[in-house]
């Protein structure tokens, strides 16, 4: 968090010369102004501890993913946009680390976390940053997340052959990821709202602040909507088509209310459950 400060000072013409402060320098100064007193103290000779959480991270051309190793598998998954797919492999790998930490900060807060990656550049950049602005921005985001949540990370390289499971999760392409337009949501919300819970969403397409997601993402209230009781909420439900029948059964079990949005596929297995032919 002093890289741009040092660069600006070194580029001055003379000791007493003035120079315009770039935006990056202002960002670093603001960081120290806001966080200097709250940054946890570090020992000059740190005492090495056993990591309290272990994360494996990887990225493919289409998505980044990672998981916390343990009895209960906690997976974070991030689909890259078309522009992000054009970025370098190092950027995608670093973005995955950033996303995992932002998604799981509540579980990682105050802990020593070991992160394994099969990209050696990521290990170096997480430690000292990068001269490339887009990579350094991600490194600063990772650093800030760790500082704010008192997370200590140790990033270590492992061969790809030892990162098979994270590689598998990063190659998952979510074909069931669909949503409705905001104008459609507002129409239903004005008619049958106010909706209080979005049951099938992620950090990019959720319509309500409280939402369930398939994987761990920033802001999620919980992973796997079927693990929760839907009663007492006015639910906004836009599920993957393959889960419509299960959604209806879960609503009956919970005695839940809400609006279920499905495609008009009359040949689908769920159609007799949602459409009464005797109604006009």
* Pairing verdict, β 211-213 and 222-223: parallel
- CA 136, 142, 148, 153 torsion-angle sign: negative
Could you give the CA distance from residue 71 to residue 51 in angstroms, rounded to a whole number? 16
pLDDT (average), residues 143-166: 92
Picking from 232, 230, 190, 189, the residue whose alpha carbon sits closest to that of residue 211 is: 230
pLDDT (average), residues 227-233: 94
**Residue 90, number of CB atoms within 10 A of its CB:** 20
Could you give the CA distance from residue 247 to residue 129 in angstroms, rounded to a whole number? 45
One domain for residues 189 and 166: no
One domain for residues 155 and 202: no
According to the model, what pLDDT value does residue 280 have? 46
Could you give the CA distance from residue 105 to residue 142 in angstroms, rounded to a whole number? 11
75 domain-assigned: yes
According to the model, what pLDDT value does residue 61 have? 93
Could you give the CA distance from residue 139 to residue 142 in angstroms, rounded to a whole number? 5
The answer, yes or no, to whether residue 5 has pLDDT greater than 70, is: yes
9 domain-assigned: no
258 domain-assigned: yes
Instruction: Domain of residue 153: give its range.
Output: 48-171
**Final residue of a domain: which of 137, 171, 205?**
171
Q: Is the pTM of this model over 0.75?
A: yes
Summarised one tens digit per residue, pLDDT across range 62-90 is 999 999 988 678 999 999 999 999 999 99
What percentage of the chain reaches a pLDDT higher than 70?
A: 94
According to the model, what pLDDT value does residue 71 have? 67
The answer, yes or no, to whether residue 53 has pLDDT greater than 80, is: yes
255 domain-assigned: yes
| CATH number of the CATH domain containing 165 | 3.30.420.10
Could you give the CA distance from residue 212 to residue 275 in angstroms, rounded to a whole number? 26
Tell me the CB-side half-sphere exposure of residue 245, using CA atoms within 13 A. 6
**Final residue of a domain: which of 151, 171, 191?**
171
176 domain-assigned: no
One domain for residues 132 and 247: no
According to the model, what pLDDT value does residue 11 have? 84
Categorize the per-residue pLDDT at 48 as very low, low, confident or very high, splitting at 50, 70 and 90.
low
| CATH number of the CATH domain containing 214 | 3.40.50
One domain for residues 73 and 125: yes
Summarised one tens digit per residue, pLDDT across range 248-261 is 999 999 999 999 99
Q: How far is CA 46 from CA 41, 42, 111, 170, 239, in A?
A: 11, 7, 15, 34, 48
One domain for residues 152 and 253: no
Better pLDDT: 265 or 197: 197
From 137-146, 215-224, 270-279, the region with the lowest mean pLDDT: 270-279
One domain for residues 167 and 187: no
């Amino acid at each position: 968090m002093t890289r741009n400060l040092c660069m600006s000072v070194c580029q001055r013409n003379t000791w007493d010369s003035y120079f315009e402060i770039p935006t990056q320098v202002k960002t670093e100064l603001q960081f120290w102004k806001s966080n200097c007193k709250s940054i946890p103290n570090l020992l000059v000779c740190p005492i090495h501890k056993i990591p309290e959480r272990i994360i494996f991270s990887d990225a493919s051309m289409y998505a980044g993913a990672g998981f916390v190793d343990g009895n209960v598998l906690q997976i974070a998954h991030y689909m890259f946009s078309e522009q992000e797919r054009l970025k370098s492999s190092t950027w995608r790998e670093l973005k995955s680390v950033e996303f995992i930490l932002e998604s799981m900060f509540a579980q990682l807060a105050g802990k020593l976390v070991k992160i394994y990656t099969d990209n050696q550049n990521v290990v170096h950049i997480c430690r000292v940053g990068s001269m490339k602005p887009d990579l350094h921005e991600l490194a600063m985001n990772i650093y800030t997340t760790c500082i704010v949540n008192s997370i200590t990370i140790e990033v270590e390289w492992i061969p790809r052959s030892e990162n098979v499971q994270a590689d598998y999760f990063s190659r998952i392409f979510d074909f069931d990821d669909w949503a409705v337009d905001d104008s459609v949501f507002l129409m239903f919300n004005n008619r049958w709202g106010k909706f209080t819970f979005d049951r099938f969403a992620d950090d990019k397409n959720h319509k309500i602040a409280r939402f369930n997601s398939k994987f761990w993402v920033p802001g999620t209230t919980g992973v796997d909507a079927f693990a929760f009781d839907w009663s007492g909420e006015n639910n906004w439900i836009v599920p993957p088509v393959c889960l419509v029948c299960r959604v209806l059964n879960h609503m009956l079990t919970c005695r839940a209310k809400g609006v279920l949005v499905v495609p008009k596929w009359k040949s689908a297995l769920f159609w007799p459950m949602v459409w009464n032919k005797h109604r006009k």
